[in-house]
C-alpha cells in the first residue's frame, strides 16, 4: 500500500519541522521497518532509537499519531488513516536530542529514586539461590513485565507539570520490589514512597494504563502502593491519606460527600490550610455555591452497615 | 422525528447535589424538554471518585455494585452526568459482569444481601452525553434546537474517567474523542480543538498539592484560550470545580487574566433548547458566563 509518513524532524538546537516520506509497503509492515527503509533508502539523516525489533528492548517508543507506542509493535495497517497517512513524533515530557531521539536522563534519574532493586541485604546468598513459589512469583509478574520503554512517562499528565514527580514507570517498579517476598526494606520503602513526588503525585489521568505496551498498567500499581500506605499503621499520615479516610468516613455517615465539611476536614485542619480555603469559601458563598444543607441519603444505615462489614472483613484478612 | 419514550435510573452524583446545583437543575430541565423521564436513585451513595479502591478494592466494588443494583431494581439503564462517576461505576459494572459465576461476585452479593440487594449485571451504566448521542440522536436534537449556538466557539473537556477508566465498552477514542464535538455541531456551535481536551484538569491533586493541580488547570485553560475557545464545555463537574471555581487561584499562579467560562454539558444543551440563562444557573459560576451570552446575543 502507498503510505505517507510525516515525521517531526529537529536538529540538536534547532526548531522543529515536519518532513513527509512516501513509501510503498506491505500493510503488515511495522512502523519501525518503515522508518528503517526511510533511513536506508531515502534519508540517512533521520535519527531514531531501535534495537531488538521484537517488543523486548523498549528502545523504539515514539508518538505514533499522537500516542506513545513501540514502533516495532505497531503495524502500518493499524495506524495509517484512510489516506494512508501516519504522523510520527518524539516522546513527550523529555527534551529532543535529534528527531525521534529524546534525552531520557530524567526518566532514569526518577527510576533510580525509588531504589528499584530487591534489597541488598536480602540478596546475600551464602549457599544457594533464593527460591520463590509460583504464588510469590505471580505477585511481581505484572509490574515485572515493564521494559522501561518510556511510553507511560511520555504521556504522564502529572510529570508534564511537575518535573519532580518520579513518574509511572518508577512507581510500577517500586510496586514490583515492594511486592517481592525477598525484599526486606518495606518500612523504608513506605517512608520513601509516602511523599507528594512519589505515590501521591499521580493525578489518575489513566494515560499510563492506556499506552503501556506490556500490560503493566502503572496506575493500577500506583494504587496498590497507596493501598499499602493506607493500611500500614506505621505510615506517617498526610493530607492525601486524610482525603481518602475522610471520604470513607463521610460515606459511612451520610452516604455521600458533604463538600464544605470535606474541605474543612481534609485541608482546613491547621491555620495555613484553613486560611487557604477562605478565598474559595467566600467566592463560593457569594455565588450561592456553598453546599450548606447536607442531608443523608435514603437508607443511609444500609450503606454504613455495608462499609462496616467490609472494613471488618478487610481487617481480618 | 419523535423520540421513543426514554426512561433512566438517574445517578446525580455528589457534586451536582452540592457545589454544582446548577448542573442538577439544568439536567432536570433538558431531560424534561427532550421527553426523557428520570427516576432518581435517592438511596444511591457516593461512588468514591476512584479512591475507594486505594482503601479497599472490595469496598469500591461492593458500594458501586449496590448503586447499580438499585438501577437494576428499577429495570432501567443507569444515567450518570459526571465523567468520574461514569468511569468508576462503569468499570465496576464491566468487572463484575466479567466475574459472572465467580466466588468474588458471590462474595459481593453476600455483602449486598445484608441490605436486601442483589447485583446481577443486567443494566448498563451510561453517561448523559452518550445517551444524548445514541438514544435521543443528533438529528432529533438538531430538530429541537430553538436557539442555534451560531458563532459560539466551544472547547470540549471530556474528563479522564469518561475516556479511559473503562477498558471495555468505550464510546470514544481515548486520544481523539468526537462525542462532544458532534454535539456542538448539532447545536450550531463550533468545536475548537486543543491538545488538553482529553487530559487531566488537576482536580484529584487539589486537596493536597494545590500548586501542581493549578499548574495543570493553567496549561489546559491557556491552551484552550490560545486556540480561540470562547468557553469550555465539560461532562464532568469535578473538572468544572477545578477549572471554574479555582480559576482565580490559577490566574494568580500564572500571572495571567484568563476569564474562560466553563459550562456544564447540560447548560450548553439547555441554551440551544431555548432555556433561559437564569433557569440554567449560568449566574452561579465563579468565572462570568457573560461572554458566552454576549456571543449568543443574550
- Chain-chain contact of A157 with B14 (C-beta, under 8 angstroms): no
Residue B82 is predicted with a pLDDT of: 98
Residue B59 at interface with chain A, using a CB cutoff of 8 Å = yes
Residue B265 at interface with chain A, using a CB cutoff of 8 Å = no
CA distance linking residue B190 with residue B262, whole number of Å = 15
What backbone torsions phi and psi does residue A4 show, to the nearest 5 degrees? -125, 120
CA proximity to A71, closest of A51, A85, A92, A99: A51
Chain A residue numbers with beta carbons less than 8 Å from the beta carbon of B204 are 203-204
Find the residue in B nearest to A225 (Cα): B54
Mutation site, B11, B12, B13, B18, interface A, largest A CB count within 10 A = B18
- Chain-chain contact of A157 with B114 (C-beta, under 8 angstroms): no
Q: Which residue's entry shows cell 488547570?
A: B217
Residue B115 at interface with chain A, using a CB cutoff of 8 Å = yes
Q: Is the pLDDT of residue A124 over 80?
A: no
ipTM of this complex: 0.96
Chain A residue numbers with beta carbons less than 8 Å from the beta carbon of B176 are 66
Q: Please state which CATH number belongs to domain A2-102.
A: 3.10.20.30
Q: What does the pLDDT look like over A27-81, one tens digit per residue?
A: 999 999 999 999 999 999 999 999 999 999 999 999 999 999 999 999 999 999 9
In the structure, what pLDDT confidence band is assigned to residue A123 with cuts at 50, 70 and 90?
low
Q: Is the pLDDT of residue B27 over 80?
A: yes
Residue B108 at interface with chain A, using a CB cutoff of 8 Å = no
Residue A126 is predicted with a pLDDT of: 63
CB B270 within 8 A of CB B279: yes
CB A146 within 8 A of CB A214: yes
Q: Is the pLDDT of residue A316 over 60?
A: yes
Mutation site, A204, A267, A279, A280, interface B, largest B CB count within 10 A = A204
Q: In B, residues 60-79, which contact A (CB 8 Å cutoff)?
A: 62-63, 66
- Chain-chain contact of B207 with A267 (C-beta, under 8 angstroms): yes
Q: Considering CB atoms only, which of A196, A243, A309 is closest to B111?
A: A309
Give, in order, the Cα–Cα distances in Å from A171 to each of A264, B164, B202: 30, 20, 19
Residue B18 at interface with chain A, using a CB cutoff of 8 Å = yes
Q: Which residue's entry shows cell 469550555?
A: B232
Residue B207 at interface with chain A, using a CB cutoff of 8 Å = yes
Q: Is the pLDDT of residue B221 over 90?
A: yes
* Mean pLDDT value across residues B51-56: 96
Q: Is the pLDDT of residue B4 over 80?
A: no
Set of cell numbers at residue B78: 443507569
Going from N- to C-terminal start, the domains of chain B cover 6-126, 145-295
Question: How big is the A-B interface in CB pairs under 8 Å?
Answer: 188
Chain B residue numbers with beta carbons less than 8 Å from the beta carbon of A161 are 202, 212, 215-216, 219
- Chain-chain contact of B56 with A227 (C-beta, under 8 angstroms): yes
CA proximity to B21, closest of A281, A279, A288: A288
Going from N- to C-terminal start, the domains of chain A cover 2-102, 105-231, 239-316
Residue A232 is predicted with a pLDDT of: 95
Set of cell numbers at residue B236: 464532568
Chain B residue numbers with beta carbons less than 8 Å from the beta carbon of A236 are none
Find the residue in A nearest to B55 (Cα): A227
Residue B28 is predicted with a pLDDT of: 98
Q: Considering CB atoms only, which of B63, B200, B210 is closest to A203?
A: B200
Q: Tell the CATH topology of B6-126.
A: Glutathione S-transferase Yfyf (Class Pi); Chain A, domain 2 (1.20.1050)
Q: In B, residues 229-248, which contact A (CB 8 Å cutoff)?
A: 245-246, 248
CA distance linking residue A304 with residue A253, whole number of Å = 7
Q: What does the pLDDT look like over A188-225, one tens digit per residue?
A: 999 999 999 999 999 999 999 999 999 999 999 999 99
Radius of gyration of chain A (CA): 24
Neighbours of B237 (CB within 10 A): 28
Residue B33 is predicted with a pLDDT of: 97
Mutation site, B19, B22, B45, interface A, largest A CB count within 10 A = B45
Half-sphere exposure at residue A19, Cβ-oriented, CA atoms within 13 angstroms: 15
Residue B2 is predicted with a pLDDT of: 46
Give, in order, the Cα–Cα distances in Å from B119 to each of B20, B106, B107, B108, B122: 30, 9, 11, 8, 8
State the smallest CA–CA distance between residue A40 and chain B in angstroms: 32
Residue B1 is predicted with a pLDDT of: 44
Give, in order, the Cα–Cα distances in Å from B281 to each of A56, A117, A260, B229, B245: 55, 55, 20, 21, 14
What SS3 string covers chain A?
Answer: CEEEEEEEECCCCCCCEEEEEEEECCCCCEHHHHHHHHHHHHCCCCCCCCCCCCCCCCCCEEEECCEEEEHHHCEHHHHCCCCCEEEEECCCCCCEEECCEECCHHHHHHHHHCCCCCCCHHHCCCCCCCCCCHHHHHCCHHHHCCCCCCHHHHHCHHHHHCCCCCCHHHHHHHHHHHCCCCCCCHHHHHHHHCCCCCHHHCCCCCHHHHHCCCCCCHHHHHHHHHHHHHHCCCCCCCHHHHHHHHHHHHHHHHCCCCHHHHHHHHCCCCHHHHHHHHHHHHHHHHCCCCCCCCCCCCCHHHHHHHHHHHHHHHHHC
Query: How buried is B149 (Cβ within 10 angstroms: 0-12 exposed, 13-18 middle, 19+ buried)?
Result: buried
Chain B residue numbers with beta carbons less than 8 Å from the beta carbon of A240 are 207-209
Find the residue in B nearest to A217 (Cα): B167
Q: Please state which CATH number belongs to domain A105-231.
A: 1.10.1060.10
Give, in order, the Cα–Cα distances in Å from B117 to each of A266, A302, A303, B167: 32, 10, 11, 27
Find the residue in B nearest to A202 (Cα): B205
- Chain-chain contact of B42 with A305 (C-beta, under 8 angstroms): no
CA distance linking residue A53 with residue A72, whole number of Å = 5
- Flag the least confident range among A129-143, B221-235, B244-258: A129-143
Q: Please state which CATH number belongs to domain B145-295.
A: 3.40.50.11810
Q: What does the pLDDT look like over A158-176, one tens digit per residue?
A: 999 999 999 999 999 999 9
Find the residue in B nearest to A232 (Cα): B55
> In residues, how long is chain B?
298
Residue A293 at interface with chain B, using a CB cutoff of 8 Å = no
Find the residue in B nearest to A267 (Cα): B207
Q: What does the pLDDT look like over B77-97, one tens digit per residue?
A: 999 999 999 999 999 999 999
CB A91 within 8 A of CB A61: yes
Amino acid at each position: 500500500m502507498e503510505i505517507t509518513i510525516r515525521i517531526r524532524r529537529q536538529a540538536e538546537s534547532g526548531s522543529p519541522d515536519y518532513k513527509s516520506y512516501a513509501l510503498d509497503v506491505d500493510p503488515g509492515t511495522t512502523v519501525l521497518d518503515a522508518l528503517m527503509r526511510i533511513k536506508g533508502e531515502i534519508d540517512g539523516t533521520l535519527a531514531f532509537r531501535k534495537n531488538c525489533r521484537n517488543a523486548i528492548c523498549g528502545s523504539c517508543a515514539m508518538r505514533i499519531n499522537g500516542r506513545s507506542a513501540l514502533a516495532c509493535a505497531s503495524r502500518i495497517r493499524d495506524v495509517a488513516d484512510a489516506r494512508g497517512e501516519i504522523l510520527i513524533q518524539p516522546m513527550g515530557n523529555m527534551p529532543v536530542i535529534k528527531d525521534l531521539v529524546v534525552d531520557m536522563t530524567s526518566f532514569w534519574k526518577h527510576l533510580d529514586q525509588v531504589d528499584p532493586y530487591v534489597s541488598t541485604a536480602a540478596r546475600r546468598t551464602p549457599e544457594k539461590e533464593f527460591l520463590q513459589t509460583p504464588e510469590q512469583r505471580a505477585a511481581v509478574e505484572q509490574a515485572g513485565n515493564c521494559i522501561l520503554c518510556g511510553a507511560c512517562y511520555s504521556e504522564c499528565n502529572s510529570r508534564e507539570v511537575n518535573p519532580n514527580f518520579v513518574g509511572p514507570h518508577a512507581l510500577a517498579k517500586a510496586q514490583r520490589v515492594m511486592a517481592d517476598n525477598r525484599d526486606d526494606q518495606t518500612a523504608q520503602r513506605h517512608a520513601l514512597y509516602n511523599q507528594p513526588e512519589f505515590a501521591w503525585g499521580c493525578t489518575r489521568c489513566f494515560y499510563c494504563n492506556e499506552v503501556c505496551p506490556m500490560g503493566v498498567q502503572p496506575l493500577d500499581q500506583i494504587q496498590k502502593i497507596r493501598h499499602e500506605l493506607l493500611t500500614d499503621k506505621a505510615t506517617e499520615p498526610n493530607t492525601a491519606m486524610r482525603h481518602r479516610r475522610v471520604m470513607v468516613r463521610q460515606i459511612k455517615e451520610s452516604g455521600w460527600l458533604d463538600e464544605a465539611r470535606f474541605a474543612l476536614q481534609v485541608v482546613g485542619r491547621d491555620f495555613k490550610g484553613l486560611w487557604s480555603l477562605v478565598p474559595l469559601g467566600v467566592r463560593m458563598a457569594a455565588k450561592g455555591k456553598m453546599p450548606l444543607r447536607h442531608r443523608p441519603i435514603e437508607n443511609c444505615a444500609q450503606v454504613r452497615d455495608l462499609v462496616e462489614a467490609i472494613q471488618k472483613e478487610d481487617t481480618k484478612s | 422525528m419523535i423520540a421513543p419514550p426514554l426512561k433512566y435510573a438517574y445517578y446525580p452524583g455528589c457534586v451536582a447535589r452540592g457545589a454544582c446545583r446548577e448542573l442538577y437543575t439544568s439536567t432536570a430541565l433538558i431531560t424534561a424538554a427532550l421527553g426523557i423521564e428520570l427516576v432518581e436513585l435517592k438511596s444511591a451513595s457516593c461512588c468514591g471518585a476512584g479512591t475507594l479502591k486505594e482503601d479497599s478494592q472490595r469496598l469500591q466494588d461492593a458500594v458501586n455494585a449496590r448503586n447499580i443494583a438499585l438501577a437494576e431494581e428499577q429495570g432501567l439503564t443507569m444515567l450518570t452526568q459526571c465523567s468520574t462517576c461514569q468511569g468508576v461505576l462503569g468499570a465496576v459494572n464491566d468487572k463484575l459482569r466479567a466475574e459472572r459465576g465467580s466466588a468474588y461476585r458471590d462474595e459481593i452479593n453476600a455483602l449486598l444481601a445484608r441490605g436486601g440487594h442483589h447485583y446481577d449485571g443486567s443494566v448498563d451504566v451510561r453517561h448523559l452525553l452518550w445517551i444524548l448521542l445514541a438514544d435521543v440522536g443528533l438529528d432529533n436534537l438538531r430538530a429541537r434546537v430553538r436557539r442555534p449556538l451560531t458563532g459560539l466557539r466551544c472547547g470540549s473537556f471530556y474528563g479522564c474517567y469518561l475516556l479511559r477508566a473503562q477498558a471495555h465498552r468505550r464510546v470514544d477514542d481515548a486520544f481523539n474523542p468526537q462525542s462532544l464535538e458532534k454535539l456542538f455541531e448539532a447545536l450550531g456551535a463550533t468545536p475548537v480543538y486543543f491538545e488538553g481536551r482529553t487530559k487531566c484538569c488537576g482536580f484529584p491533586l487539589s486537596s493536597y498539592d494545590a500548586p501542581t493541580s493549578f499548574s495543570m488547570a493553567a496549561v489546559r485553560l491557556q491552551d484552550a484560550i490560545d486556540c480561540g475557545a470562547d468557553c469550555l464545555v465539560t461532562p464532568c463537574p469535578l473538572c468544572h470545580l477545578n477549572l471554574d471555581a479555582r480559576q482565580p487561584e490559577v490566574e494568580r499562579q500564572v500571572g495571567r487574566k484568563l476569564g474562560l467560562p466553563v459550562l456544564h454539558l447540560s447548560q450548553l444543551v439547555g441554551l440551544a433548547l431555548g432555556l433561559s440563562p437564569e433557569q440554567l444557573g449560568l449566574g452561579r459560576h465563579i468565572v462570568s458566563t457573560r461572554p458566552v451570552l454576549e456571543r449568543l446575543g443574550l
